[in-house]
Structure 1
Amino acid sequence: MATGDEKSVCPVCFNLDFDHIPQKEPPCVLDSHYFNIPFLKVKASSKSESCLPCSIICAGLECMQEQWEDSEDDQFLLEDTLLLINLRRGHSLRITCSNPGDEKILEFYTLSEKDNASIFAIGISRAVATELDLDRCLELAREWMKKCDTEHNLCGRPISSRLPTRVIDVGPDATSDTVYLRETTESNRDLYMSLSHCWGKEQIITTTTSTLLARKASINLSELSELSENFRDAVMIARYFGIRYLWIDSLCLYLDRH
Structure 2
Amino acid sequence: MLYSDDIVRGARLIKQAAAVAVLTGAGVSKESGIPTFREAQTGLWANYEPEKLATVEGFVSDPNLVWTWYDWRRKMVSNVKPNPGHFALVELEQLVPKFTLITQNVDGLHRLAGSRHIVELHGNISRHKCLKHGHVASEEVESDLPEPPKCHCGSLIRPDVVWFGEALGPQNLADSYAAAESADVFLIIGTSGLVQPAASFPFVAKRRGARLIEINPEETPLTREVDFFLQGASGVILPQLLEVLRDQSA
Q: Quickly name the TM-score band, shorter chain normalised.
A: under 0.3
Name the larger-Rg structure.
Answer: 1
Give 1 or 2: higher helix fraction: 2
TM-score by length of 1: 0.21
